[in-house]
Structure formats: C-alpha cells, structure tokens
A and B are shown apart, each in its own frame.
Chain A
Amino acid sequence: MLAYIIRRVGQSALVLLIVGLVAFSMFRFVGDPIDNMLGQERTVEDIERLRAQLGLDQPFVVQYYKFLEGAVQGNFGVSYRQGRPVAEILLERAPATLELAMVSGVLAILFGIALGVFTAIRRDGVFANVIMSASLIGVSLPTFLIGILLIYLFSVELGWLPSFGRGETVDLGGWSTGFLTESGLKALILPSITLGLYQMTLIMRLVRSEMLEVLRQDYIRFARARGLRDRAVNFRHALKNTMVPVITVIGLQLGAIIAFAIITETVFQWPGVGLLFINAIQFVDIPVMAAYLMLISVMFVGINLLVDILYFFIDPRLRADRSGGH
C-alpha cells in the first residue's frame, strides 16, 4: 500500500508539473497585465520598463522555472494587482471557498445519496420517477442562470436572503468562518444550493444506477433469500457496495465543486478563490492565476489520493485494478 501511495504521489507531482506548464503557456494569451498596472498617461517606455521588471519579456519556460523555484519554497510571488504576496491572498480567500464547497458538497452528497437510494429502491414508483425527471431540470440550465434566478426570487422579490457576499464572518485564528453568525449562515444558502445542485443531481443519478446494478447482484438476492430485513439489504449490503464506484466520482465531484465555484462566486460575489481567479484573469494577474491553478491541482490530486486510500478501507479486496469503467 505504501509503495502504491508513493507511486501515486509521484504521478501526482508529474501531473502538477504538466498542469503548471500548460497553465503558464496559457498566460501569454490571457492578455497583457501591463496596461492594467499603468494608468492612462503611461508611455511606451513605462510599458517596456515594467515588462522587464516583471520578467515578462522572458520566454514562458524561463518564467515557469522561476515560478517553480519560488513555489517550491512556498513563495508564489506577488500579485500584480494587489501588490501583496499571492500566498497571503490565497490563504485569506480560501476559507470562503472551502466553506462554500463544503456546504454544497455535503448537501450534494447527503441529498444525492438519499435521493439516489430512494429512487433506486422505489424504482417504479411514481414519486421516484418524478424526482428523476425533475432532477434533470437542475442540470438543464446553466449554473449562472440558476444563481441569478435564485437571487431574483429570494433576495429581490422576497427579500429573505442576502443577494451577495458572505455576511459577517468570525475570525478563528486566521480562518474566517461564516458558520458562526446568522448572516453568515443565511448568506451560504443560495450559493451552496446553486453550486451543489448540479453535483447533487449527478451523485443522485450515479447512486441510483450503481444501486440498481448492485441490487441485481447475486449477493443481494442471496441476502434477501436469507430473509434479511429490507433495511439491512438496502443499506448494509447494497449501499455499501454502491459506494465503492460512487466514491471515486464523489471525489472528483468535490474537486469539480471547487472549480465550479468560479461561476457561483462570480454570480454571488462570494469572496473566495474562484472570484479571485476570475478577477486575476480580468487583470492578467499571472502570479495569482498560476497559484490558483496549482492550488486546484493540488486539491484534485489530494482528493484523488484520499479516495484511493479510502478504497483500502472500504473494499477489503484491495483490487489492483480499479480504473476500469463502471
């Protein structure tokens, strides 16, 4: 298992390097940060001077190397836009995104699994079929539109929930949390629904189909033939087996939640890293973009690794080949 993890970590590091390289090659096309850093009355000379100062006149491979050099030491450079160390900015913004992702993730997983199990067990029930069809509405509209419609309904028309931001936050040793204030919790509702809806639908449908697959397995029939109670059959036997493939996808979805937070955060002005990234694109804040992409990759890779390790606990067979299709 240790060898396996080491190999995975090695692969992950490679993935990170590639992601970083690709990302860096992209930055040249996002635009030129210089115009955003200089005012209307700049001269061409100013532009060239600043460009040289930032090292933007060098080939991107060199820029990438310098970035890596710094990143290894935990130094992601200084934001062009804010003039502050990127690591500091990211740390400041991360709690907002992580809390949002966590709430949406938990909502998506809880409701996804519950509804998935329900629709699988009551496969032919009218209510289950209504849920199945209705759930598709959530994935048939773009997220940003759902967010805007939610704001329109619950903030503007009904005035129940705040239209943007995180509300009041409490600082817990560098981690600003919105969980401890009423306004913070209220502010979480709309964004987490917006963000979690898609993932919930996905998880629900996946759980349902995996569960149906499991329910027709011999060992489920055998469990029934032994007269086990439905609850035991469905949850102790079927759900546990269902979770094996589902966990991979959930792991990936958690990463996707953080990535999709870009859109939700833009719509709700949620002060997280996704919003930071979108702003960074707008202002071609290369150090921030690079660090964000690395952060996302690290998270993804970490989640994947975690999922792999989780397998060892869930599935005693320690199957060597889990990468096959579901």
Chain B
Amino acid sequence: MSKSTATANGAAAEVHHEHPPYQRHHFESVEQQADTTNFAMWLFLLTEIMFFGGLFTAYLIMRNWYYPAFVEASHQLNIGWGTANTGVLIVSSFTMAMGVWSAEMRKKGMLVLFLSLTWILGMAFLGIKSIEYHEKWEKHHVPGLHWSDASFLNPASDPEVYKEYHDKPLAPDMAEKAGMYFFLYFAMTGMHALHMIIGISLLTFMIFRARAGAYTTGHVTYVENFGLYWHFVDIIWIFLFPLLYLISRH
C-alpha cells in the first residue's frame, strides 16, 4: 500500500512534465498510452477470433456430414495458387514484422520500404485470389449465383482435375452438397479477403505517414498494432489453407 502510494506520487508528478505531440491528453505517460492501445488491439483480435470461430464451427460440421462432396469440391481448387498465396502472405507477415523492427530502430527509409513491400505482397495475394475466384466463376462453382453440379456428377468432364485425382462420380444428392463446400469457401475466404482489403487501405495511409516520419520518432505503437492485425489475418489464412485446399489430395 505504502509502496503503491509512493509510485502514485511519481505518477501524479508525471502530469506536469512535457508531453510528446502524439500523447493523448487523458494518458499519464507515453508508456501507458502504448500499453493501452496495444492491449486494446489484442482484445479486438479476440473478437476477430470468435468472429471466424462461427465459420469454422459451421465448416467442421458440414465437412463431417458431406465428406465425399468436400473432398471432390476441394480437388477443384488450384493447389498451386493456394500454396503460392500462403507463401506470399507469410512473406508479407515477415516484411511487416521487419517494418515494426525498422520503426523501433527509427530507420525511416527501411520502414517505408518494408511497409511498401507488405503492401505489394498484400495486393499480390488479392490478385491471386481474384484469379482463383474468376476460375470458379468460369467453372460454374459459385453457389447461388453461377452454379452447376456437372463436374461432380461427372468428374471426367473436367479433364485436368480428373487426370490428377480420378474422382468417382458423386450421387446427385451428394453432388449438390459440393455447393455447401463452395458456399463456405466463399464465405471464409471472402471474409478473409475483406480483412486483407481493410489492412491494405490502412497500409496505404501508413506508408504516407511513415514517409512524413511519423513513426520513427519513438512512437511505434501504431505500426506495432497494425502489425498485430496483419499477422492475425495471416494466421487465419494459415488455417484456411489446409482446411479448404488440402482435404485428402492423395
């Protein structure tokens, strides 16, 4: 108690010393502000976990029910693109981490460089994703909007997939459940892509701020917290990739 009062006086004293420009009025110290925003970011990520949690639950149940449909539907995904995208996202996570590092080291040039790299990789991810989406549209694999069971009722009608996996034709009732897979595929990757888009738009803004030197004067909180967000989006993909692309490829 006495100890706490002692430090308390210290804290009270802090009110009077000079504030850096980026310290909000209601914080006692820069550290407090940094901790606070950092903790807030983590809590926000918790909500994000639960947000995707609902989707994952739905996915697991449907996958258990309609396993054959899920297998053949996932064979329709291009594993090359998927792997590439995973790589891209992981590297972007790395560049982001490096961005945080250069902000901490107060290296303005490197910060801008790494943020831009992250931006480019993020765009690359979205580009690849859109190629995949387009492919799905071409193949009539967009449930509800542009859908046909053909490639599951008769896999042979789709040679390049068939020659790899020799899928057996699905019974009609199971074939239509492939639509369920693609519904979840679009829901999950779509939700993930949305997070990417939000991230990239924030990055754009940050790159300009960074060039103005906003984050290399000791105020790294913003970059750090954005980093947390970016890594979280990466983690979601780390799970989406095996769940959606890698259902029994053998």
* Genuine A/B complex: no
Residues of B within 8 A of A (CB): none
